[in-house]
Structure formats: structure tokens, C-alpha cells
Chain A
Amino acid sequence: MIATQAVSKSYGSTQALQALTLTVEPGEVLGLLGPNGAGKTTTIHLLAGFLKPDSGSVVIDGVDVVKNPDEARSRLGYIPENVALYPFLSAMENLQHFSSLAGLKIPRDEMARKLVHCGLAPEAIHRRVSTFSKGMRQKVGIAIATSKNARALILDEPASGLDPHASHELSMLVRKVADEGAAVLMATHDLFRAKESCDRVVIVQGGKLVQEIDPASLSANDLEAIYLKQMESGS
């Protein structure tokens, strides 16, 4: 489970989050929608323990992130908007290194399958990632995050830079991870992908949760209309 309880965070005089409460149950995918500066990335960084909240609590799989960040991170997979990798290593070597840092021992053929499963072309597996496009690096990052088989997965604009096909595959992958029992929180701008893969969608603005939506009951156009209406009323 992923949970934030009345979490607030400010940067100097700027209030990034105001008493934000979210819960993502195991097997559920929650989409976090909002404009730039709404507090999506701050929420993700708080959940990953990169930042400490000013008040409130953040819990991953029952572990308080502030009190036990290392333990919480061991139960967490994280995919940033721009996946940074070691440019002088191949995709396989990057996956190997990051997996070993997480204490995982994955056979090489399984790692290769994982990379292909995450959308990387087989011929790219042994290429240096310095030659990769942003989308290709993103796929390696997804492989790294999901190889942990974490109880919680948080994604910060994961489809950024992915082509439509890879973006669709990512949605399927996220869905699969959730179906296997993980709680997934995905910050995104992409309403279509949110509808495709999320069980629930929350809209945040000015650091506050302004609306919760069941995307299954709406068309993509309806979802967009609701989102735009919220943005207009908030601006």
C-alpha cells in the first residue's frame, strides 16, 4: 500500500503540498494528474524518501518513509521522468548493476527477457546507453524499477519520451505489476494513458487534491473535460 496522510511540504515561502492525503491499495493503479507545479513530483519525491515532509506521514507497504527510509525504499520501485543511467554501460550492464545494488541475483537471460519485455529491441540490449534515445533509456529504467518486484511502484511521468507503442506497452506493464499485487502511483499529464491503466485518478492543483475520478466510468474526452474544467476553476 502507498499512503500519504495530511502531508504538507513547502520550499521557502512556496507551499508545494497542503495536507495531501492519498491511499493506493495493493493491486490498484492511481493516476496523479495536475498541471506543472501542482505538487505531483513533490509527492513522488516524498514517497521515495528523497524529501522529508514538513508535516504528515508517508507510508510504503506499512513502513514509515521518514523513520525507515532504507526499509521503505527496499519495498519500492521508482521510475523518474528522465531515467539516468551509466552512459558507458550497456542496457544489460546497467540492469545488472542496479539489480545487484538492490541485492537481486537475476540470471542474464532473464534480464534480457525483462529488457525486451519492457519494450527494448533485442539488438539494443548490449549497446551502450550513451547511444540511446530518451525513450530507450526510459525502457531500461522501467526494467530496473520493475525487476525489484517491489510492493509499491511510483512513476513520475513515465511515458515522457516514449513512442505511442512503447507508451501503450508501459500501460500494460503497469497494469500487470498492479495485477500481481503491487500498489502503483503514476504521476502523468497523459489523460489517455491514465484512463488506459489507472483504476482511479486524482487531480491535484496548488498542492491540494481537488477531485477524484473513476476513469472507467468516463470516456477519455469526458476525463479531459473534467480536467480542463478543474484547471480553469483553479486558475
Chain B
Amino acid sequence: MIIKLLLMELRSIRSDGRLLALVALALATLILSTWIGAESQRSAKTGREAAMEISRQQWEAIDGLSAHGVGHYGSYVYKPSSPLSTLDSGVMPFTGKVVRVEAHVQNPPSHSDAGSWSSLIRLGAFDAGTILSLLVPLLLAFSAFSSVSRDRETGLLRVLVAQGVSLRSILWGKSLAYWFLSLLLVGALMVSHVVIDQLSGEPLTTDIKTRLLLFGSSHSLYLLIVVLLSVWISARVADSRSALMILTIGWLVTSVVLPRITAEFSSQLFPLKSQVTFEDEMAEDRSKGLDGHNPRDERRNVVRQEVLEEYGVEKVSDLPVNLGGILMQKDEEYGNQVWDVHFGRRHETVRKQIGVVQAVSFLDPFLAARGLSMAFAGTDQFHDAQFQRQAENYRRDLIRILNDLDAKAGTRQENGRWSREKIDYATLSDFEFEPQSVDFALGHRWPEALSLLIWVIFSAGLLQIGTGRIPIVGGSR
């Protein structure tokens, strides 16, 4: 029965040229956004590779600098784009793509797309994730708002019910037809993404396939919720006009107003310190000690004494190592602790802000869909924080190697001065980003996944058991 009604609804949709045109427009927009995303990703990749090559050449050309000097000379690490960022750019356009790594300082990522005065600032992101979660629901609401109310107004609903068709079957048939359209859009998007990726020679790993599948599934579930609620509202309210008004207001509240209020509320509840304050506090802690009672000079004297004792000598000039290198490494390690504390606090604040959004997602499935979309695309705050951590770990390893070289690659001369060896810095490895597995995304985004499932059950439940108060007859008696 439901299949027959579904097929008839699809024929009805097919016969409506305006609706078909809207679906075709949405499909074209989705594929276009994927292609644009792939092009920008390709362009970013080319730019990143060129910058990396220049950095490598500069690094290899270093001559006559001590290891400590090289630590100050520094290098750059570049954030690679997530393969699925073509589908949902998430927070990535607003976060830095380049980190300058150097001794003593943990620099924040810089060179964001938004900071480079791209069209992003004026128009916002144009990607499939945004289109699927923002525009396609609106299209579905505009298409389905009269799906039942129109049949009630024309009298078709009465003819169907009189033939023995249950309201539940009618509502499911219509809902599944509109969901089928949504699946067509999501499916076409996924296929186009795979094709574009294959044409550009990008590898399609199991993790990417899983992420792509989950990306499509989460959007499909969200669109199912939109369709079920749209059809139910169309059935429940008195006329098509009221249904359209309710759905439009609903879309506005859930997709525009509530997300912004939630973001603002979470920022007020858990305020994030500015980058300047963050850096000032780190510098202060590094200088004075984390507890404020352990100034840098005192720490240096303690380390100096420990090294002298370790090597059983009384004077620095008798040490078989360069104390400067050891002191700098100890200072680095202390600075690393400071960074861990401050970055940890900052990350915790962001996590709490996201927690607020995740809690509100149980009221607003749009927030759940957005969170999952970004997470499966590998472009949310959690994934971005991983880049910052990996960049910092690379910096620590690099500076430790350089400080070790500064401490040990050389000999103590008779006059007590330390003579450094010439070092081939080209042997030091480049930064390699280790992408997070899909488990990482799921581990952080399970509340949104749960919210989406609860919403699916709720909206399906409305159709399944909430048909009792649906009017079959319109205004006429």
C-alpha cells in the first residue's frame, strides 16, 4: 500500500514542473559546490606544496647557523585540507592554515581564508554540507507543505480514505517519496564527490569511504526528519497556507535564529580568552613560573646545579656538554608544560561551548546535522585542535633535536669554550599530519548522532501514532 502511494506521489512530483526544476537546481548547486570545493582544495594543495618546497629549500640552505640559531630561524608547518572538506569546509576557513614553529614560542595558526579577505567574509561558505542542511530542508518544506493539505482541500484525501487507505499509509507514502528525492540529492552528491576525487587522483581510503558514508547518512537522516515533520504539519494544520507559514517559521528558528542564539549563549556561558590574552598569560607563566613563585632565573640556576652534579664538575667550563643547549631544552620543556596547561584550558572551554550546542541539538536537529556534517568531513573544532597539537608536537621534537645538537654536537676546547660541529639540517624531517580516524569524529559527536536518532524516532512516531487528530475533511461540511 505504502509503496503504491509512494510511487503515485513521485509521479505527482514528476508532473509538477516547478518542483522538478527546484530539485534539478538543488542538484546542480550541490554538484557545483563540490566541484568548486575540489578546485579550491586543489589550488590550496598546490599552494601548500609550493610553500612547503620553499620552506624545505630555505631549511636546506641554512649555513653557518648554530642549532640554537636554527631553532630561532624556525620553519613552517602547513595544515593539509581534509579530503572531505570539499563537502563541508566547517570551521576551517576561519582557522589558520600555517604555523610558524620556532624555539621558545608556540605560535598560533595563521593565514586563514577568512583572514585573507576572501568572498567567504561577504557571503559565507558555499559547500554541500551547508546546502544540504540549510537550503535543501527549505526546498523540501516548500515542496511538502501542501502534500496533505492540498489533497484535503481538493477532496482527494477523502477519496483515498474512502477506498480504505489509512491516513498513516498516506502520510508514510508521501514522506518516503519526498525522502526519496532527498536521497537522490545526497546520493548524487556522494557519487559526484567520488568521481571528482578519482579524476583528480585523490586516494579513496577506507576511512574516507566510511566518513563519506556517514556524512551522507547523517544528512539523509536529517532530511528524513524535515520531510516527516513537513508532511505531518501539512496533515495536521487546517490549510496549506498555515502549513507553509509554520514550516517557514520553523526553518527560520531552527536553522537561523536558534543556532546563533546558542552560539552566543555558549560564548557568554564559557567565554574564550582572546589570542592576545592567551599569549600574554602564557608569557607571564613562562617567565614567573606556573605558580607565580618560580621565576625563570631560579629555574635556570637549579638546572645548572643539577647538570654540574650529574657530570661531577664544579665549573661550566669543565662540562663535556654545552650547558646552553641543556638550559634551553629545560626551558622549552617548562614552556611546553605552560602551553599544555593554557591550551588545555582553552580546548576545554571550546569543548564546553560545543557541549552547550550539543545539548541544544536535542531541541534543534539542525545543530546535530551541522555538527555531524563537519565532524565527518573532518573540519570541526576537534579536528582543528588535533592539527594544533600535532604542529606543537612537531615543534617540540624539532626543538629538542636542535637543543640536543646544541648541547652535544661539539667539543670543549682547552680554553673552556664550546666549539660546535657543522650540522646538516637537511636530514631533519618535515611535518607530516596524521589524519584522525572516523572513530575520533564519532567519539566526539555521539550526542549529535543520538539527537538525530531521537528526532527520527520522534518524527516517525508522529506519523505512526499521531494521525488520530488529523482532519480528513477541510472547511466544507
Q: Which A residues fall within an 8 A CB radius of B? A: 11, 16, 37, 39, 41-42, 45, 48-51, 70, 73-74, 76-78, 80, 82-89, 97-98, 100-103, 141, 144-145, 148
Contact = CB atoms under 8 A, between A and B. Distances in A.
A78 B154 contact: no
Interface of B: 1, 4-5, 8, 11-12, 15, 151, 154-156, 158-166, 472-473, 476-477
A50 B161 contact: yes
A88 B11 contact: yes
Given A84-B151, A85-B156, A101-B1, A73 B476 contact: no
A50 B156 CA distance: 13
A39 B472 CA distance: 17
Contact of B158 (A80, A100, A102): A80
Contact of A78 (B1, B159, B165, B477): B159
A84 B154 contact: yes
A78 B158 CA distance: 9
A144 B159 CA distance: 9
B477 to A, nearest CB: 5
Contacts of B165: 101
A88 B15 contact: yes
Contacts of A83: 155, 159
A180 B5 CA distance: 32
Given A86-B8, A88-B12, A74 B158 contact: no
Given A45-B473, A84-B151, A88-B15, A101 B163 contact: yes
A11 B474 CA distance: 12
A50 B159 contact: no
B156 A42 contact: no
- A-B interface, 3 closest residue pairs, ranked by CB to CB distance from nearest: A78-B162, A88-B15, A84-B156
B15 A70 contact: no
B247 to A, nearest CB: 23
B470 to A, nearest CB: 11
Contacts of A50: 158, 161, 472-473
Given A41-B476, A41-B477, A45-B477, A70 B164 contact: yes
Nearest to B1: A101
B163 A102 contact: yes
B155 A82 contact: yes
Contacts of B166: 70
Contacts of A101: 1, 4-5, 160, 163-165
A28 B292 CA distance: 101
B151 A102 contact: no
Nearest to A38: B477
B164 A80 contact: no
A77 to B, nearest CB: 8
Contacts of B162: 48, 73, 76-78, 145
A42 B5 CA distance: 28
Contacts of B164: 70, 73-74, 101-103
A84 B159 contact: yes
A189 to B, nearest CB: 15
A84 to B, nearest CB: 4
